[in-house]
A = this chain, B = another copy of it.
Amino acid sequence: MTDYFCMDKAALMREQQALLAEYGRYKAMGLRLDMSRGKPCPQQLDLSMEMLRMEDYIGENGVDARNYGLLEGMPEARRFFAELFGLDAKEVIVCGNSSLSMMYYLIDLGWRAGWADSVRPWRFCNNIKFLCPVPGYDRHFRVTEYFGFQMLSVPMDENGPDMDLVEELAREDETIKGIWCVPVYSNPDGVVYSTETVQRLARMQTAAPDFKIMWDDAYCVHHLTDEILETANILEECKQAGCPDRPVMFCSTSKITYPGAGVAAVGASEHNVRYITKNMTPMLISYDKMNQLRHVQFLKDKAGVLAHMKKHRAILEPKFRLIKDTFAAGFAGCGPIARWTDPKGGYFISLYLQDGCAKRTVQLCKECGVVLTGAGAAYPYGLDPQDRHLRIAPTYPSLEELGTAAKLLCVCARLATVELLLQKAA
Contact = CB atoms under 8 A, between A and B. Distances in A.
Interface of A: 37, 39-40, 42, 45, 49, 52, 54-55, 64-69, 96-98, 100-101, 104-105, 108, 112, 139, 142-143, 145-146, 254, 258-261, 281-291
B288 A67 contact: no
B288 A97 contact: yes
A206 to B, nearest CB: 25
A290 B55 contact: no
A66 B69 CA distance: 26
A52 B282 CA distance: 29
Contact of A55 (B49, B105, B145): B49
B142 A282 contact: yes
A286 B139 CA distance: 13
B283 A100 contact: yes
A28 to B, nearest CB: 26
A290 B67 contact: no
B260 A67 contact: yes
Given A96-B96, A143-B283, A259 B67 contact: yes
A132 to B, nearest CB: 15
B143 A288 contact: no
A288 B259 contact: no
A289 B258 CA distance: 10
Contact of A66 (B96, B139, B258, B285): B258
Nearest to A282: B146
A287 B101 CA distance: 10
Contacts of A96: 96-97, 288
Contacts of A254: 68
A260 B289 CA distance: 6
Contacts of A284: 98, 100-101, 104
A290 B69 contact: no
13 contacts: A40-B67, A45-B66, A45-B67, A65-B260, A97-B287, A98-B285, A104-B283, A142-B282, A258-B290, A260-B286, A261-B290, A261-B291, A288-B288
Contacts of A108: 108, 112
Contact of A64 (B45, B67, B105, B290): B45
A12 to B, nearest CB: 41
Nearest to A42: B64
A310 to B, nearest CB: 20
A312 to B, nearest CB: 14
A55 B55 contact: no
A333 B67 CA distance: 39
A102 to B, nearest CB: 10
A112 B108 CA distance: 9
A65 B42 CA distance: 11
A88 to B, nearest CB: 24
A40 B67 CA distance: 7
B101 A68 contact: no
Contacts of A281: 142
A138 to B, nearest CB: 11
Contacts of A98: 284-286
Q: Can you list the 5 inter-chain pairs with the closest CB atoms, starting with the nearest? A: A261-B290, A104-B283, A146-B282, A68-B259, A66-B258
B289 A261 contact: yes
A257 to B, nearest CB: 8
B39 A68 contact: yes
Given A282-B143, A285-B98, A290 B260 contact: yes
Contact of A261 (B55, B260, B288): B288
A68 B258 CA distance: 8
A281 B82 CA distance: 29
